[in-house]
Chains A and B, each alone.
Chain A
Amino acid sequence: MSVTFSDLRAAVASNVANVGGMQLAKMAPEYFLRQQNTIAHKSYTVAVTQSNATPERQRRAVGVYVQTNVVVTFAHRLRPLDVYPTDYDAALDLERDVINNVLQTYSANNAFTIRYNSSVRTVGDSQEYITVALTFTALHTITQ
């Protein structure tokens, strides 16, 4: 079954949205950090960053079997008087929820498989937000 790149992005985004309070950012993924402060809390973006063909025959009838990197980035507010550990821990717990929900993509749609690779957590100088970038790898087939 074919899954386009946009299908993949939408499926992942839909599952992230199932985590309480998460809202899709209006900024392109590369400019996620420009999200307004007032609505940045629990906003997220899903980037389909890179795809590579797997060693297959790529028969036209079957399509191209590809491996695509998906990066989910979200922000979590750090309240000034609760930066650490209260809100820092809350962000880590949210990260776990997001990972679990993204991995449920596979059970909901047999068209592709997805697995979690890594997390990068960053607190900016202002200490107003922590941003977490989660990298996943999806295996799917695209056809004409």
Chain B
Amino acid sequence: MSTTPFAPQIKIPELLEKGKAQTSELPIYRDGQLVAPTEVRYTLYDPTNKKLVDNAVATYPGNIPQYTHATGLLNDSQLGEGYLQEWAVTIGGRVYTFRRMAAVVLRRLYPVVSDADLTATYSQLADLRPSSLTSYQTYIDEAWYTLMQRLRTEGGGLEYLVMSAEAFRGAHQNLALYYVFRDFHSSLGQSNGRYLDLANEHYRQYNNEWKQINFVYDHNHTGSADNPDQRQNKQPVIYLSNPGRLGNYRWRRR
């Protein structure tokens, strides 16, 4: 069996919205190019390992494996994590199986930062845009995936339960600007310079913004905020020690 490490492009778990027809894709790369499959089969498991889609034939337009879920497919499925997509892709006469975690959700979370938000803070940025690009969208998208991934890996919550999308704006904007200026700096082959300074500045701001993120959350998957008046911190503060003794002592003296 071939062990060629093909690379499926998986940035974050796939989110499948209830009650909607939606298409999942799985581009697979090797040597910088899309791999050309000759057959694709798709299976979707729920958290109990029951097959919701069983080895269905999937298409691959433009060499990108693709499966369209029917509108009612997830009507009886429970909301949340634990779903698994399995793509059996035939490449060069061999079948490779790629897995991707999935979640069934009521709503996706969409980013609120666009190209205009970057150029709004740097008027010069529009003029510095590379001739090969019409916007800074690639940097913005990459920053978004990084944020969503970090939210999960740090246990900060599940993005699709966040009701207040604007909570990520500051961190997202600064991380995107960090990517932009770091790329500028990298292209010039310098050891220092204005673009590196700006990149470092925005990375610091991104980390500060990240620590301060709080949002309105929907713990119960109801589609509405648990408590709209109370924002929840992304990273709860956990105290592992007792209150200081000095405070008790001073209280007793009174």
Interface residues of A (CB under 8 A from B): 37-38, 41, 77, 79-83, 86, 125-128
Contact = CB atoms under 8 A, between A and B. Distances in A.
Contacts of A128: 194
Contact of A126 (B128, B130, B193): B193
Contact residues on B (Cβ < 8 Å of other chain), bracket:
10 to 19
A41 B128 CA distance: 11
Contacts of A37: 124, 194
A123 to B, nearest CB: 11
A77 B127 CA distance: 9
B183 interface: yes
B188 A83 contact: yes
Nearest to B130: A81
Nearest to A40: B124
24 contacts: A38-B123, A38-B124, A79-B128, A79-B130, A79-B131, A80-B128, A80-B184, A80-B187, A80-B188, A81-B130, A81-B131, A81-B183, A81-B184, A81-B187, A82-B130, A82-B131, A83-B187, A125-B190, A125-B193, A126-B188, A126-B193, A126-B194, A127-B188, A127-B190
A78 B188 CA distance: 10
A128 B190 CA distance: 12
Interface string B185-201: 10110100111000000
B153 interface: no
A37 B194 CA distance: 11
A37 B183 CA distance: 19
B129 interface: yes
A84 to B, nearest CB: 10
Contact of B183 (A38, A80, A126, A127): A80
A80 B193 CA distance: 12
A83 B194 CA distance: 15
B131 A86 contact: yes
B138 to A, nearest CB: 12
B49 interface: no
Nearest to A37: B124
A126 B183 CA distance: 15
Contacts of A38: 123-124
A54 to B, nearest CB: 45
A12 B135 CA distance: 37
B132 interface: yes
Contacts of A79: 127-131
Nearest to A36: B124
A80 B127 CA distance: 11
Closest 5 CB pairs of A and B: A80-B184, A81-B130, A80-B187, A81-B187, A82-B131
Contact of A80 (B123, B132, B195): B195
A126 B193 CA distance: 6
